[in-house]
Structure 1
Amino acid sequence: MLVFWKEKLVFLAVPKTGTTAIEGALAPRASMVLRDPPILKHSPVYRYRRFLAPYFKQAGGQEMETLAVVRHPVDWLASWYRYRSRDDLVGHPNSTRGISFDDFVGEYVRGKPAPFAAVGSQAKFLNDGDGHLAVNHLFRYEAQPKLIDYLESRLQLKIDLPRLNVSPKVDAELSTEMREKLERKCAAEFAVWEAGQH
């Protein structure tokens, strides 16, 4: 999470949406950088609104706007799948090594997935308790130029994004049947992505 006090902007770090690269580029310019622990770095909007927003308002008497990035659900899951296939996770319950992408997604759509597919939800991260989008500015991961243009204009600086936290190259093809199941069972994930600027 990045806080830009003067510009009244908070960048919420949705996991697996390029936030590490954004942080790398913008941290020197931010008023506050929440990197560790991950529960703080990746605070969802409901946690931000409950704990940090009131604190910021009390500290400066100002309402902060929120910004986040959302990734297409299939690509987001593929990124998690690849990330969890890395060598240092082999033998760990979170490892996806030896598991097909179809099986990973099939496990993800279950009510209580196995540890290797328990990766959270972009919709829950970005929506309030009533299922409504609760960030002021939402950009699609796939539309990086629009995000960068917005940030450069809002923060008045030039941004050069490094490639950081890149997952291993692993085949992540999803069958038509499994994609349809994902779209049916996780409609909120697709709805939140559709809401992003592109």
Structure 2
Amino acid sequence: MVRILIVEDDEAIANLLYMDLRDEGYQCVNAYDGKQAADLLEENTDFDLILLDIMLPEIDGYELLEYIKPTEIPVIFLTAKGTVNDRIKGLKMGADDYIVKPFQSGEVIARIEAVLRRYGKSEKRLNFADVKVDLESRKVFQEGKEIDLTVKEFDLLVELIRNKNIAQYRDKLYEKIWNEPFMGDTRTLDTHIQRLRKKLGWEDYIKTVFRIGYRLEG
């Protein structure tokens, strides 16, 4: 799973980014000042990308970028410093992209995907239990045998694996997969979940969460 470090001292912005990116299947960690981010990076450097504010307490983003460079982790600046000179400075220092506040989450996600593709870090495969999912070919294999899934069954499986052990609300899950407002009828979603369970033999893995929805356990 792609891991992203969010370094942002505005907790509301940081938490919003965390939730939006988590919903897209990314694993995120928040740091609310430069020193906390430096400590996290000292502990481990297995992050695939860093979203970095410039105006941070303790250690600012420019100084932190110098610390990050040797790790070769791609960095996207998120900042209110939006002049041309600020952008040029950030990019010349080695940032891979520069996003000016206020921003839309969709723009941030698109920029992240572009940088990850450039570095060859885009998520290509998912594994859970005895199942392997190839995201590029949209094929699913169980113990080496290809499992025939419909488009929506495949999308549901990916969403459940990316959020394993987290309860998924029926309405949010439906809107994510069908890309349309949830009108209160759960039959379509429930039927697809039942088929997915049967095709994979995952009755013990895909749990029904009373009055909420579903959770993939394991």
Identify whether the pair has TM-score above 0.5, normalized to the shorter chain. no
Higher alpha-carbon Rg: 2
Higher helix share: 1
TM-score (norm. length: structure 1)? 0.25
